[in-house]
Amino acid sequence: MAYIGQAVKRKEDYRFLTGRGTYTDDLVLPGMVHAAFVRSPYAHARIRAVRTEAALKAPGVLAVLTGEDLAQEGVRPMPVGWLLPTLKIPPRPVVAKDEVHHVGEVVAVVVAETRAQAEDAALLVEVDYEPLPAVADMRKALAPGAPELHPGAPGNVAFTWEIGDEKAVEEAFAKAHRVVRLELRNQRLIANAIEPRASLADYHPGTGEYTLYTTSQNPHVHRLMHAAFILGIPEHKLRVVAPDVGGGFGSKIYPYPEEAALLVAARRLGRPVKWAARRSESFQMDAQGRDHETEAEMALDAEGRVLGLRVRTLANMGAYLSLFAPAVPTYLYGTLLSGQYRIPAIHCRVTGVFTNTTPVDAYRGAGRPEACYLIERLMDVAAAELGMDPAELRRRNFIPKDAFPYPTPVALVYDSGDYERALDRALELVGYRALRQEQEALRKEGRYIGIGLACYIEACGIAPSKVVGQLGAQAGLWESALVRVAPTGKVEVYTGTHSHGQGHETAFSQVVADLLGLPLEDVEIIHGDTARIPFGMGTYGSRSAPVGASAIVRAVEKVLDKARRIAAHLLEVAPEDLEYQEGRFQVKGVPGKAKSFQEIALQAYLAHNLPEGMEPGLEATAFFDPQNFVFPFGTHVAVVEVFPETGEVKLLRYVAVDDCGHQINPLLVKGQVEGGVVQGIGQALFEEAVYDENGQLLTSSYMEYAMPKAPYLPAIEHDATVTPSPVNPLGVKGVGEAGTIAATPAVANAVMDALRPFGIRHLDLPLTPEKIWRALRDKAPVAAD
């Protein structure tokens, strides 16, 4: 292999580094005009009237569209793409007409010649609101007499869902030596891709065709939702293009109301309409993440073996259901509660709750970080209560490496793993024993360092389609690829996945170049335009390598198969007499008798001398639907110092050992791990979306929402083990979310470990200096244990 496994530098970097990337807001079309949105300042209110006269008279204004206008245009509510048996689906309008349910909800769209004119005029739209009682807190939303958001969802319950064997769990708890209990919150987060969402909608009155340029992780999903479900137009009339996309982390998976409103405005005006979100709009309107309240209990025997796990979770869905929101706190969360451990009995019950807050959906990791945080916090609390070393307790409970494929009690079958090896490597790298001794010594000096472990598992490359369909997905989760060979032997690869920073153009080129024995420069990767790529599902849940690249492998194999038959015909031998090496088909044992890939490509298009009955041309499409998920895993260790006088936490070390199977490009893996870890640290120490009791978002800009910044972070030390996945041809597992999943519990466990001498057992995230300082205020350190 010339390229796979090598730290090949990225093809995409040149354009980004020289300012020649093309992001949606960089696009300009002839006659383009600009939109601004009028948004609700109330979390819950009735709309009595929307008066647009003053705005319509403002300079440059071309149109003002209200909810009434969109209803007359036949625009339908936003769709939900994952169903659960008890799910209540309140209609989420593109533009609110009668009632608003969260701050930032769109009430009108103003279109003007310039952006400044549109924003000026938006201030002139007069909306007559009748404020209604709002509820932002889940427990208050579930309390009797709480204000109800939707008549179709009594008591604000979106769904109830459970998984596992409740009776088996009861039996496990009955025979337990010890039961460990923990209540915890997994706070609400905002994805915060640095490129705000942006869209440019165009309509061609002559053909009735629409084009939507938009910040999307999955253009075909956007097309299907906007065409078939929202606007009610044939899919072939809508082309969706996602050019360079500046990060997504989940927030750009979903169709959004603004996009549909822009398409309608473009149709009405016959001119292209652009909008780029202000950061304040991103805070209010991008799908948010996490937001759980959980009560968990773990039963253990006298040797520290886990007998059972019981979990009760409230999941805040926000005011409406975003596209995949129902899947996140259910199938992406409850099914991962076994962690890396052999737990004989698990039962989890989840209640989804509507509140007057922005809708949540999948944010980096989606459900898996919530599960990992829960199980890894419980492991640490259990170790403390049993007086055991937290690494030893984990080791004692690991699923052994010879037990794969391993079925958990919560529906999944883990594909492959060697958890002890990753733990050992991480402990060795961090110097665990010496650190524990140093911790002891420092405590005597009144200094408090903490060591935190997280042994994470993640499920990604979610498939096969048949299984996810049985669980409620309203989509298949395969991926596609088209490999098109030009007559010169250069190769274009069209993929249904979408890169928003991961480096697909490089990694996929490596795969194709190796399989075809060609130089990297001869391969071009094309993505992001529904007019060019085959139907595909896009990028999320770390599916691009395990599912997307596997589809590419299958398409390349088809191309090679046809090329081999052409070569055999030209060389007058049987196809099986040929071996393919370094871009040449060679007759076995006859070194001089060969045809290059380029010669075959040319012959395929000349079509002067092909096997009888063979079609000309050299291209192939493949759809790959894996037989199972892939399950990357690893151990991360955080080392922190907590300063009791101020409550500040300083990260001293961070060690990550990840196993994502074979690595296509270690440089890209390193980048994904480092970035992911820092997002996880963000949840542990800095980030939180805070609403007041009236549903006002108090953290609505970077002035209030603390993001991880360079000075507060340590260098991340990393290493890998390799346990190939048996479910795809490359033996790869996804790595995009791993760091985020692992880092939050690793850092939280480290901080709690540092605070143990003060008798503090648990604090909720984020672990801000103020929170720690308040917890320490009345406490003196007790004797070191």
Residues engaged in binding another protein (CB under 8 A):
9-10, 12-23, 25-26, 28, 116, 192-196, 244-247, 249, 276, 278-280, 500-503, 667-668, 670-671, 674-679, 701-703, 707-711, 713, 715-716, 739
Shortest Å distance, C-beta 192 to another protein: 6
Q: How far apart are CA 739 and CA 771, in angstroms?
A: 25
Smallest distance, Å, CB 677 to another protein? 6
Q: Nearest approach, Cβ of 102 to another protein (angstroms)?
A: 20
733 secondary structure, DSSP code: -
> Among positive and negative, which fits the CA dihedral 330, 335, 337, 343?
positive
Strand partners, 298: 180, 309
Query: Of 217 and 338, which CB lies nearer to another protein in the complex structure?
Result: 217
Kindly compute the dihedral angle of the four CA atoms of residues 20, 735, 553, 625, in this order, to the nearest 10 degrees.
-120
Closer residue to another protein, CB minimum distance, 570 or 707: 707
The residue (of 260 and 746) whose beta carbon lies closer to another protein is 746
Comparing CB distances to another protein, the nearer of 22 and 86 is 22
* Residue closer to another protein, measured from CB, 675 or 757: 675
Residue type, 45: A
Residues 6+ apart with CB under 8 A from 480: 495, 496, 533, 534, 535, 536, 551, 621, 622, 623, 624
Task: For the CB of residue 667, give the shortest distance to another protein in the complex, in Å.
Answer: 5
DSSP state of 228: I
C-beta closer to another protein: residue 17 or 698? 17
The distance of closest approach from Cβ of residue 675 to another protein in the complex, given in angstroms and rounded to an integer, is 5
Q: Which is nearer to another protein, 516 or 678 (CB)?
A: 678
Could you tell me the smallest distance in angstroms from the CB atom of residue 332 to another protein?
21
- As a whole number of angstroms, the distance between CA 70 and CA 403 comes to 57
Residue 26: CB minimum distance to another protein, A: 4
Nearer to another protein, 138 or 678 (CB): 678
Beta bridge partners of 398: 341
Q: Is 1 exposed, middle or buried (0-12, 13-18, 19+ CB in 10 A)?
A: exposed
Q: Which is closer to another protein, CB of 204 or CB of 709? A: 709
The three-state DSSP-derived secondary structure of 373-399 is HHHHHHHHHHHHHHCCCHHHHHHHHEC
Longest dimension (CA), the chain: 89
| Residues in a beta bridge with 63 | 111
Q: Cα(314)–Cα(360) distance, rounded to whole angstroms? A: 13
In the block, residue with structure tokens 């705000």: 196
Q: Give the nearer residue to another protein in terms of CB position, either 587 or 637.
A: 637
Min dist. Cβ of residue 119 to another protein (A) = 11
Query: Cα(54)–Cα(37) distance, rounded to whole angstroms?
Result: 16
Question: Least distance from C-beta 531 to another protein, angstroms?
Answer: 23
Peptide bond into 714 cis (omega under 30): no
Looking at the Cβ atoms of 77 and 247, the one nearer to another protein is 247
Q: Whole-angstrom Cα distance, residue 300 to residue 306?
A: 4
Tell me, what DSSP letter sits at residue 546? Answer: I
Distance in Å, CB of 265 to another protein, minimum:
20
Instruction: Report the Cα–Cα distance between both ends of the chain, in Å, rounded.
Output: 53
Strands (E), 103-256: 106-112, 126-131, 157-164, 178-190, 198-204, 209-214, 238-241
**Which CB contacts under 8 angstroms, 24+ apart, belong to 83-86?**
83/326, 83/472, 83/474, 84/159, 84/161, 84/326, 84/330, 84/472, 85/161, 86/159, 86/160, 86/161
CA–CA distance, 515 with 1 (Å, rounded to integer): 8
Kindly state the smallest distance separating residue 457's Cβ from another protein, in Å. Answer: 22
Report the residue number, 21 or 405, with the smaller CB distance to another protein.
Answer: 21
Nearest approach, Cβ of 279 to another protein (angstroms)? 4
